[in-house]
């Protein structure tokens, strides 16, 4: 793997590290291709029993890359060409998202597609699709409801606020919300509890437990593709992407001076 994506496997524990710091782990065509290749390698490795998915310490993922979004808006890329969420859900072993850093849009949903999720109290999480002029994608309309409940999910999708991880404590289906410095360790601790279990049994249980999320994703994705055809056909969508898109590290990072143009600060 390149330095943008690192996959390591040792004693049954795999670690998939998204580490494209210059690109803020945004889903460019090249980054997606490397990530899909890493997941394919992981799916074929029979020694792996569980995988921790991690990002950068300050930013898990910035979601869709600007050029990819413009390709969608200008008809050069079909919504169904984005396979990240499905491939992650369909990995034969359980995955644990160690979301140390903030996550936005598709980056947040990529984390929520994992079988278990650990968030950081200080980091911010949100969906900014509507600020860019189009409805959510990557299965967001199903998976976000699955993770945080329909009312909080509606607030996040319509309003595009960023919420600190502390906001999700005791009000969402998240395994743990801990201090940022403890996120990776907590995820690894969860993972180590699986490494002494038989692989065949892990695969069977993973297939069963992931089924509700897989169905929610497929239902959402079908409707999202239709909505995207409408949204991306509108000239306003291209204009909003060009005007409002930015690398979201500053907006999502609570240590920054504040959100950039076109973004709304989330509740603390």
Mind listing the pLDDT tens digit for each residue in 21-36? 999 999 998 999 999 9
- Residue from 76, 108, 29 nearest 238 by CA: 76
Q: What is the mean pLDDT of residues 173-197?
A: 97
Residue 192 has pLDDT above 80, yes or no: yes
Q: What's residue 1's pLDDT?
A: 52
Q: What's residue 86's pLDDT?
A: 92
CB-CB contact of 42 with 80 (8 Å) = no
Instruction: Name the pLDDT band for 79 (thresholds 50, 70, 90).
Output: low
- Residue from 225, 259, 255 nearest 244 by CA: 259
Single pTM value for the model: 0.89
Q: What's residue 75's pLDDT?
A: 72
Residue 248 has pLDDT above 60, yes or no: no
For residue 265, what are the contacts with CB-CB under 8 A and spacing of at least 6?
161, 162, 251, 258, 259
For 47-78, what is each residue's pLDDT tens digit? 999 999 999 999 999 998 888 888 877 777 76
Residue 257 has pLDDT above 70, yes or no: no
Q: What's residue 253's pLDDT?
A: 53
Instruction: Name the pLDDT band for 110 (thresholds 50, 70, 90).
Output: very high
CB-CB contact of 45 with 193 (8 Å) = no
Q: Are strands 63-64 and 26-27 parallel, antiparallel or unpaired?
A: parallel
Percent of the chain with pLDDT over 90: 69
- Sequence length of the chain is 268
Owner of token pair 């394919």:
40
Q: What is the mean pLDDT of residues 126-139?
A: 92
Whole-angstrom Cα distance, residue 157 to residue 131?
10
CB-CB contact of 21 with 56 (8 Å) = yes
For 208-244, what is each residue's pLDDT tens digit? 999 999 999 999 988 998 898 888 888 888 888 888 8
Q: What is the mean pLDDT of residues 117-144?
A: 94
Determine phi and psi for 174, rounding to 5 degrees: -105, 140
Q: What's residue 81's pLDDT?
A: 58
CB-CB contact of 228 with 137 (8 Å) = yes
Q: What's residue 263's pLDDT?
A: 43
Domains within the chain, CATH numbers bracketed: 5-180+209-252 (3.90.226.10)
Strand, coil or helix: 68: helix
């Amino acid at each position: 793997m390149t330095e943008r994506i690192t996959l390591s496997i040792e004693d049954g524990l795999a670690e998939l590290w998204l580490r494209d710091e210059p690109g803020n782990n945004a889903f460019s065509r090249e980054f997606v291709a490397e990530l899909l290749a890493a997941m394919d390698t992981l799916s074929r490795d029979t020694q792996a029993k569980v995988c921790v998915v991690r990002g950068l310490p300050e930013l898990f993922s910035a979601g869709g890359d600007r050029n990819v979004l413009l390709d969608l808006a200008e008809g050069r890329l079909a919504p169904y060409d984005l396979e990240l969420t499905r491939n992650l859900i369909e990995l034969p072993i359980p995955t644990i998202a160690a979301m140390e850093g903030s996550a936005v849009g598709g980056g947040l949903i990529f984390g929520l597609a994992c079988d278990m999720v650990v968030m950081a109290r200080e980091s911010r999480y949100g969906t900014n699709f509507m600020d860019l002029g189009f409805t959510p994608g990557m299965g967001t309309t199903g998976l976000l409801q699955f993770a945080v409940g329909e009312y909080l999910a509606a607030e996040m999708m319509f309003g595009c606020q960023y919420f600190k991880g502390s906001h999700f404590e005791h009000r969402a289906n998240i395994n743990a919300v801990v201090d940022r410095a403890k996120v990776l360790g907590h995820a690894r601790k969860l993972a180590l509890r699986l490494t002494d279990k038989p692989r065949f049994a892990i695969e069977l249980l993973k297939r069963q437990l992931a089924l509700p999320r897989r169905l929610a994703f497929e239902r959402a994705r079908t409707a999202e593709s239709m909505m995207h055809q409408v949204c991306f056909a509108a000239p306003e969508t291209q204009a909003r992407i060009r005007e409002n898109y930015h690398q979201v590290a500053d907006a999502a990072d609570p240590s920054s001076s504040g959100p950039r143009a076109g973004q709304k600060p989330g509740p603390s």
